[in-house]
Amino acid sequence: MKEITYVEAIHQALWEEMERDDSVFILGEDVGIYGGAFRVTEGMYEKFGELRVLDTPLSESGFTGAAIGASLVGMRPVVEMQFADFISCAFDQIVNVAAKNYYRWGGKTPIVIRAPYGGNIHGGAFHSQCPEGWFFHTPGLKLVAPAFPSDAKGLLKAAIRDDDPVIFFEHKFLYRRIKEEVPEDDYVIPIGEARIVQEGSDISVITYGAMVHTALEASKNLEESGISLEIVDLRTLMPLDKETVFDSVKKTNKVIVLYEATRSGGVGAEVAALISEEVFNYLDGPILRISAPDTPVPYSPPMEEYYLPQVEDVVEAAEKLAAY
Amino acid sequence: MKEITYVEAIHQALWEEMERDDSVFILGEDVGIYGGAFRVTEGMYEKFGELRVLDTPLSESGFTGAAIGASLVGMRPVVEMQFADFISCAFDQIVNVAAKNYYRWGGKTPIVIRAPYGGNIHGGAFHSQCPEGWFFHTPGLKLVAPAFPSDAKGLLKAAIRDDDPVIFFEHKFLYRRIKEEVPEDDYVIPIGEARIVQEGSDISVITYGAMVHTALEASKNLEESGISLEIVDLRTLMPLDKETVFDSVKKTNKVIVLYEATRSGGVGAEVAALISEEVFNYLDGPILRISAPDTPVPYSPPMEEYYLPQVEDVVEAAEKLAAY
Amino acid sequence: MDVERDTLHQLYYYLKLTRHLEERITSLYRQGKIVGGAWTSNGTEAISVGYSYALEKDDVTAPYFRDMGVFLVRGITPRRIVAQYLGRKTGVTGGKEGNVHIGDINFGCFGFPSHLADNYPVAAGAALAFKIRGEKRVAASSTGDGGTSRGDFHEALNFASVLKLPVVFFCNNNQYAYSTPLEKQMAIKDVAERSLAYAMPSEIVDGNDVVAVYKVSKEAYKKARAGEGPTFIECKTMRMHGHSEHDAAKYVPRELLEEWKKKDPILKMENYLLENNHASENELKDIDKRVHDVIEDAEEFAENSPYPDGKEAVEGLYATPIEKVKTL
Amino acid sequence: MDVERDTLHQLYYYLKLTRHLEERITSLYRQGKIVGGAWTSNGTEAISVGYSYALEKDDVTAPYFRDMGVFLVRGITPRRIVAQYLGRKTGVTGGKEGNVHIGDINFGCFGFPSHLADNYPVAAGAALAFKIRGEKRVAASSTGDGGTSRGDFHEALNFASVLKLPVVFFCNNNQYAYSTPLEKQMAIKDVAERSLAYAMPSEIVDGNDVVAVYKVSKEAYKKARAGEGPTFIECKTMRMHGHSEHDAAKYVPRELLEEWKKKDPILKMENYLLENNHASENELKDIDKRVHDVIEDAEEFAENSPYPDGKEAVEGLYATPIEKVKTL
Ligand SMILES: Cc1ncc(C[n+]2csc(CCOP(=O)(O)OP(=O)(O)O)c2C)c(N)n1
Ligand SMILES: Cc1ncc(C[n+]2csc(CCOP(=O)(O)OP(=O)(O)O)c2C)c(N)n1
Ligand SMILES: [Mg+2]
Ligand SMILES: [Mg+2]
């Protein structure tokens, strides 16, 4: 197995799916000749031609709607948002058309929307957002948010083969910062399954995306103090793998929910709510949440650092909770 | 004091604010000559003229953006969405422009967006949605959702006078179904304050909108079994009045979160998460949530009834929780 | 273009079927049997009937809510449609959706999302799929004059034109969007002028003349199929009822309605058929009889159909259910 | 229209200031001092300088990200702008925002939201306020050629035209949207054709000729102020760098750049001033000196400015804070 980056894993998954299935095609701004703002589709235009790697006019709602229409007649479009922030311009098509087609009238809508999201790149309010919470509160969508190259590859393949609209949240900060050995052959990571990325006994950290790595680092820092974290990487946000989360809580009896999105509402709130509702009896302490505060993402480095959950925040919370 | 309906209270608040302050104006589809799809602006076109009660082209993003621009130069526009469902078409302007103006660059954006929301009117997936959860997860907005005529009037006035963007969620089902004595003079209900609409000792029901009335009815039905509900009407969803919620939980030690929106994420999840985080020690049982399931709103009456939280659901949950 | 006698009869049949089915729905509404809202395309039926009848079986449509004729022409039965209005299990969407929020992929009909113009980019996308696969199929979509003010209208037409997609966009210009008259909706005279922004060819047609709509559509589809790109077709007509059944439409000048009453599409078609000997009085009577019977049958069927089970509300969210996690 | 000597000198000053300030920013970017991204308006400065200089003090602008000239002309100082790029407390937004995502209501500059064309309806709304209050003020907004494909472009122009609002919309047509050339962006030849869909008057102007842009803007503002409604102005130019500093723009034919290099707006203005005796060599040198000094000062100021405190991140979310509830 070769070590590849997160972004290479995404590239590979796309490439292989395009080769495997003629009905897969890519559309979005600058995905063609240019190979995508983050070079995810590099070389594909040359390989698969301009109709299957389609440069669109600057119109998120238009090309997302078009992807929906194409999917209704049997295609499997993969839409690239240049930054996840711009998904707001396609919001209506996603939440009212794609998400509701199947429930309302049985219209199968197998589209994938790739959304490069997240902060820590000094991108400011419009190039750093974590918009998954909006879609998490929209029945009919599936949401995945891998933290590792191998998951990214397997989940993107699963997303493309799935018959429902899937938003694939790929974390920009991870693109070139993490590497991992990834199987070179065809494999799929099923949508809807969380993964224990680290077994532990004292506290369950429920998290996803870039924060998985923050949790892993915190865990190392906690070795000295003898606090053992069990880290649950949700991988799929919707539908949520309650079973794996609950099993972990039953084992550790203490929970930290760690997420990069803004605090109120969204995925992190739901995880806490689910636990306090369904496995309350197993809890030996409050469910702590570590997240971004309820503000836009600030630009200046000291502010962004303050804004984003840091390793020390996790360490501190874990110490507090362990002592509980 | 005169008894007036919920919709009359909204009409009154608007009328009085239009008279009080020249910078207040109304825009939206069919708000002028027609007086609004729900007749909320009836008579205003004749009274205040076509520029202050402005019929717009069918373009939610356009007229919401226009409201933002007008507010930046000192106006206080009140935007009417014909149904809250169509707010998705203006999503980008709301979450990226209005919500972030002040934080990003100090641009004061005192707009009010009136959003007739909610189900139980056999409106199907596109005329029944509760979209507040999307905006709850968007820092920079204020959200109010009154359950009574008097609150509707006072909160709409507060919203109009507030210097931040406020979404005013008015529940369509309540429009003509509830009446109440409402002060005829000028008064304001401060944004950010929940209200105990019924004191009780056994279980706190945290709720808002039409579900407040469901809770009240459930409470009556529970008299026999001697279970006493304390009903907290949030009234303002963002920012959330944690203090009042927590005080109630500290008193009753048991919680039901009741909301009409779909289950995962959103306001209800946050209320549960906050409680399980900050007043965990006071809890004598799991935090139960009663909500709509994670699907679009179905049309056929038996389905919609099954879908929406019912009085019996609250009764059942209360009995279960009381026995805990 | 010569239109065959049989085609003319079929156009007449569907015109009548659309009119009378919607009238029946209105009367069911007045009886309180329809729990949600009810709209009709009254006076504008020639548009939906004409443009859909000109399609081939393989083509697809992405209609809007004054397109009852499309559903009927495409083959969705009146039985299923009335049942849909009554919220029955036998309705097009099994009770999940109401009234004209219909869709059935088996008949090449995409569902109508209430949000006006949302279906324009969707239609363009279907056309894109046909182009990618080299299929000679077309997509047709329509919206109201009001719907053309929405951003999705712009993004769809621009997209379709740049990519020369086999899609034809129709506008039912009935001069009002709810209470909003055309001059408050746009500064141009003809909606067709909108297409200039995309270098897209356009046509203006008498929306009350079903044969004219049929012909102009057929031509546009032919061009689209030949790879010559999209067309925008404005069909001029007049909304003869309120926006919906609960709207008295006091804001519409009575004279306007009087004037347009004379141009009723059914009247026009009847005269055309008889005057040109394309049909005899008896043939038309036979058609009327058929229409009547079909509607009676549909109503009976629908009223005798069961409601869905409440708990079907939580079924069918996903086409690929996730076994491991039950979300509901 | 005759343009006064002093105005010409000012236009030249701002052209140069914009060019050199952005060049300095580029060099700071290359030194790794700018933590986020950096874009320039290189080669297209005449547009932002020209249209904003033609405004009155009371007017407002809703710019986009190649409008550095607007910020400078309106009076936002280079000091605050460089500090903004460096994420300092003394920057226009106190560190909350980066680079050209600037806004300062005191100078009638609305913030630029990244989402292209979002500012078009916002500008229309300011114009609506002026109209409601009977003020003789105008709003100006601009976007790129790519931005005109977005729905908000359509909704804004339609809205402004129907209501005859005192707003002027500019398009910086630099022939590319990131890597996407015009012919993949729209099927029309001139962006100005878009305005036909709204019966909105339009102008096409040489976007590299600052005097021409100034004049055509002035005329349009005059009409707007007189109640004659909006204008759309297409400024033809060429993006001379990559989309941003990290883009080598290999997709742009070199000949196109060569050709446009000769039409550089600063060169053009210099020649115009000298050839017509509107300025002497010495006067131009003096201006260059001023520009140089201002930029030196700005950089020094910015580099010596403190960063904001991290916890300022959670301040200033609301203009009317809610006393009772601390959200953060
Ligand atoms: C985006 C959006 N906003 C608002 C509505 C509510 N609405 C339903 S029909 C209608 C008027 C439509 O007018 P037009 O497009 O001319 O179609 P017509 O009803 O005249 O056929 C409105 C405003 C909607 N369906 N979609
Ligand atoms: C709605 C939206 N989608 C995508 C982007 C990302 N983006 C930033 S600039 C750009 C190209 C803009 O092209 P154009 O409008 O022609 O302006 P130019 O950069 O050429 O001045 C894109 C796609 C954006 N800012 N907004
Ligand atoms: Mg109409
Ligand atoms: Mg450009």
Catalytically active residues of D, by annotation: 239, 243, 251
Contact across the interface for A89 and D151, Cβ inside 8 Å: yes
Paired tokens of D258: 């060569």
Which chain A residue has the Cα nearest residue B61? Answer: A89
Nearest-Cα distance to chain A for D114, in Å, is: 6
Rounded to two decimals, the ipTM of the complex is 0.98
* Domain B2-182: CATH superfamily, name plus number: Thiamin diphosphate (ThDP)-binding fold, Pyr/PP domains (3.40.50.970)
Contact across the interface for A139 and C325, Cβ inside 8 Å: no
Residue C328: pLDDT over 90: no
Contact across the interface for B69 and D101, Cβ inside 8 Å: no
Query: What residue type is A245 in one-letter code?
Result: V
Residue B129: pLDDT over 70: yes
Paired tokens of A87: 């998904």
In angstroms, rounded to a whole number, what is the distance separating the alpha carbons of residues A76 and A55? 17
Q: What is the pLDDT of residues C81-117, one digit of tens each?
A: 999 999 999 999 999 999 999 999 999 999 999 999 9
Q: How far is the CA of D14 from the centre of ligand 2 (A)?
A: 25
pLDDT the model gives residue C245: 82
Residue A223: pLDDT over 80: yes
Residue C324: pLDDT band with limits 50, 70, 90: low
Residue A185: pLDDT band with limits 50, 70, 90: confident
Percent of chain D at pLDDT > 70 equals: 98
Residue A184: pLDDT over 60: yes
Catalytically active residues of C, by annotation: 239, 243, 251
**Nearest alpha carbon to residue B41 among B52, B53, B24:** B53
**Nearest alpha carbon to residue D15 among D247, D305, D279, D328:** D279
pLDDT the model gives residue A57: 98
As a whole number, the mean pLDDT across chain B is 98
**Residue located via tokens 């972030």:** B100
pLDDT the model gives residue D327: 40
Nearest CA to ligand 2 atom 6: A82
pLDDT the model gives residue C327: 40
- Best mutation site among D89, D104, D115, D122 for testing chain B: the one with the most B CBs within 10 Å? D122
pLDDT the model gives residue D328: 39
pLDDT the model gives residue D60: 98
Q: What is the pLDDT of residues D102-153, one digit of tens each?
A: 999 999 999 999 999 999 999 999 999 999 999 999 999 999 999 999 999 9
Burial zone of D2 (CB within 10 Å; 0-12 exposed, 13-18 middle, 19+ buried): exposed
Contact across the interface for B276 and A273, Cβ inside 8 Å: yes
In angstroms, rounded to a whole number, what is the distance separating the alpha carbons of residues C213 and C321? 43
Contact across the interface for C314 and B29, Cβ inside 8 Å: no
Q: What is the pLDDT of residues A87-119, one digit of tens each?
A: 999 999 999 999 999 999 999 999 999 999 999
Partner B contacted by A237 (CB < 8 A): no
C-alpha dist (Å) from residue B94 to A88, B62, B84, B135, D113: 10, 11, 13, 9, 12
Nearest CA to ligand 2 atom 21: D144
Residue A258: pLDDT over 50: yes
- Whichever domain contains D259, its CATH number is 3.40.50.970
pLDDT the model gives residue C151: 98
**Nearest alpha carbon to residue B111 among B151, B162, B46, B185:** B162
What does the domain layout of chain A look like in residue ranges?
2-182, 195-322
Q: Which ligand 2 atom sits nearest the alpha carbon of residue A30?
A: 23
- Best mutation site among C58, C132, C327 for testing chain A: the one with the most A CBs within 10 Å? C132
Show residues of chain B in contact with C184, CB under 8 Å: 55, 57
In this structure, the strands spanning D231-236 and D202-206 are parallel
Q: Phi first, then psi: what are they for D140, rounded to 5°?
A: -125, 145
Residue B1: pLDDT band with limits 50, 70, 90: confident
Q: Is the CB of D145 under 6 A from ligand 2?
A: yes
**Nearest alpha carbon to residue B137 among B263, B246, B245, B238:** B238
Contact across the interface for C149 and B294, Cβ inside 8 Å: no
As a whole number, the mean pLDDT across chain A is 98
Contacts of D267 (CB under 8 A, 6+ apart): none
Q: What is the pLDDT of residues A270-322, one digit of tens each?
A: 999 999 999 999 999 999 999 999 999 999 999 999 999 999 999 999 999 99
Show residues of chain B in contact with A300, CB under 8 Å: none
B 31-70 near A (Cβ less than 8 A): none
Between D322 and C51, where is the model more confident?
C51
Nearest-Cα distance to chain B for A273, in Å, is: 5
Contact across the interface for D93 and B25, Cβ inside 8 Å: no
SS3 of chain D: helix, strand, coil, percent, to 5: 50, 10, 40
Strands across the sheet with D139-144, in order?
Answer: D60-62, D139-144, D167-173, D231-236, D202-206
C-alpha dist (Å) from residue D314 to A122, D310, D326: 16, 9, 11
Percent of chain D at pLDDT > 90 equals: 95
> CATH 3.40.50.920: does it fit domain B195-322?
yes
Domain containing D58: what range? 5-325
Pairs across A and C, CB distance < 8 A: 166
Q: How far is the CA of C177 from the centre of ligand 3 (A)?
A: 4
DSSP three-state, residue B294: coil
Average pLDDT over residues D66-79: 98
Partner B contacted by A324 (CB < 8 A): no
User: What are the pocket residues of ligand 1 if the criterion is a CB atom closer than 6 Å to any ligand atom?
Assistant: B 29, 58, 60, 82, 86, 89; C 66, 114-116, 143-147, 150, 172, 174, 176-178, 239, 243
pLDDT the model gives residue D324: 55
Minimum-distance CB partner of D152 among B65, B104, B242: B65
Residue D163: pLDDT band with limits 50, 70, 90: very high
Residue D257: pLDDT over 50: yes
Q: Is the pTM of this model over 0.95?
A: yes
Average pLDDT over residues B203-223: 98
pLDDT the model gives residue D323: 67
Q: Compute the CA torsion angle A7, A11, A14, A16 (nearest 10 deg).
A: -130
Nearest-Cα distance to chain C for B85, in Å, is: 8
Residue C323: pLDDT band with limits 50, 70, 90: low
Q: Is the CB of A85 under 6 A from ligand 2?
A: no
Mutate-to-test residue for ligand 1 from C42, C64, C116, C183, highest number of ligand atoms within 8 A of CB: C116
pLDDT the model gives residue C6: 96
- Quick one: CA dihedral C154, C155, C160, C166, positive or negative? negative
- Quick one: CA dihedral B267, B268, B269, B273, positive or negative? positive
Contact across the interface for A294 and D317, Cβ inside 8 Å: yes
pLDDT the model gives residue A1: 86
A22-A23-A25 Cα angle (round to 5): 95
**Residue located via tokens 């105990």:** B196
pLDDT the model gives residue B303: 98
pLDDT the model gives residue D182: 98
Query: What residue type is D182 in one-letter code?
Result: L
**Nearest alpha carbon to residue D309 among D89, D83, D33, D36:** D89
Nearest CA to ligand 1 atom 13: C177
Contact across the interface for A126 and D251, Cβ inside 8 Å: no
Chains in touch with B (3+ beta-carbon pairs under 8 Å) read A, C, D
Chains in touch with D (3+ beta-carbon pairs under 8 Å) read A, B, C
Residue C164: pLDDT band with limits 50, 70, 90: very high
Q: Is the CB of A82 under 6 A from ligand 2?
A: yes
Q: What is the pLDDT of residues A33-87, one digit of tens each?
A: 999 999 999 999 999 999 999 999 999 999 999 999 999 999 999 999 999 999 9
Q: What is the pLDDT of residues B142-155, one digit of tens each?
A: 999 999 999 999 99
Nearest-Cα distance to chain B for A55, in Å, is: 22
Contacts of C122 (CB under 8 A, 6+ apart): A65, A66, A68, A69, A72, A97, C62, C110, C141
**Nearest alpha carbon to residue A82 among A140, A26, A25:** A26
Q: What is the pLDDT of residues C261-320, one digit of tens each?
A: 999 999 999 999 999 999 999 999 999 999 999 999 999 999 999 999 999 999 999 999
Our count of domains for chain C comes to: 1
Percent of chain B at pLDDT > 70 equals: 100
What are the strands, taking DSSP E only, across B29-107?
53-55, 76-80
As a whole number, the mean pLDDT across chain C is 96
Nearest-Cα distance to chain B for A154, in Å, is: 25
Chains in touch with C (3+ beta-carbon pairs under 8 Å) read A, B, D
